[in-house]
Amino acid sequence: MKPPTSQRVVLVGASDKPDRYAHQAQMLLQLHGHEVVPVHPKLAEIAGVPVVADLSGIQGAVDTVTLYVGPAISAGLADKLVSLKPRRVIFNPGTENAELAAKLQAAGICAEQACTLVLLQSGQF
């Protein structure tokens, strides 16, 4: 089996708390060799990785965005997500937002309801 291709993954709703799924996802993404760009408005770094305060601060190509924020927050991210032009956006359990998913799909971005942790652990990421 060939090793998976490394991706640049933006993690919205990053956390420095080890019990949070967002934190576990960041650690597992890094363990699988992906470059993680954590996004959180108040954190400076997580496990040695610099945190970006806002999506508008991200430069360069993005393969995947994985969401760990609820619809109340993600509803305001549509324009910034479309501007990033990721290949896909993963809506983790509890982050589902049909309106945002429709806007992303209209812009040609795959909107996937899935769990980043499960995708990584099952080799489907």
- pLDDT, residue 5, reads 80
- Give the model confidence (pLDDT) of 23-71 as tens digits: 999 999 999 999 999 999 999 999 999 999 999 999 999 999 999 999 9
- pLDDT, residue 4, reads 55
Q: What is the CATH number of domain 8-121?
A: 3.40.50.720
Element (H, E) at 27: helix 21-31
pTM of the shown model: 0.95
- Give the model confidence (pLDDT) of 99-121 as tens digits: 999 999 999 999 999 999 999 99
Residue spans of the domains in the chain: they are 8-121
Q: CB-based contacts of 103: which residues, under 8 Å, 6+ apart?
A: 78, 82
- Region 5-10 average pLDDT: 94
What percent of the chain clears pLDDT 90, i.e. is strictly above it? 96
- The mean of the pLDDT values for the chain is 95
